[in-house]
Amino acid sequence: MTDYNPKLATWLKNEPCTEAGINNIQVPGRTGNIIWQTRHREPSRYEQALVEHLEAIFATGVVELESLVEALNARGSRTENSAFWTAESFQAEMARLGY
């Protein structure tokens, strides 16, 4: 099973393929099921750790940005550059990861 969609990586720049349809014809009964349709690669260890922190924080009922940032810092979560989280850095990171 593939943990990401290898064909999605070619579309990250939002530029249409000049060879549309080549190697994409699906033959009934021989089409592989890609579980992770929207991932162009597997999540990094940093991304996985951030998700675990966020899930734990949301489970406590935190929903406000400032409280979320405080909780991330209190749990020892840091940005990818090892900096403390701020509201601005968190919003920028969510925009980057969500592209």
Q: What is the pLDDT of residue 50?
A: 97
pLDDT (0 to 100) of residue 49: 97
- The CA distance from 60 to 35, in Å, is 30
Longest dimension (CA), the chain: 52
Residue pLDDT tens, the chain, 99 long: 667 776 666 555 656 556 655 555 566 676 666 666 667 788 899 999 999 999 999 999 999 999 999 999 999 999 999 999 999 999 999 999 886
Nearest to 48 by CA among 96, 1, 97, 95: 97
Spatial separation of the C-alpha atoms in residues 25 and 9, rounded to whole Å: 18
The predicted pLDDT at position 1 comes to: 60
Closest CA to 40 of 65, 75, 8: 8
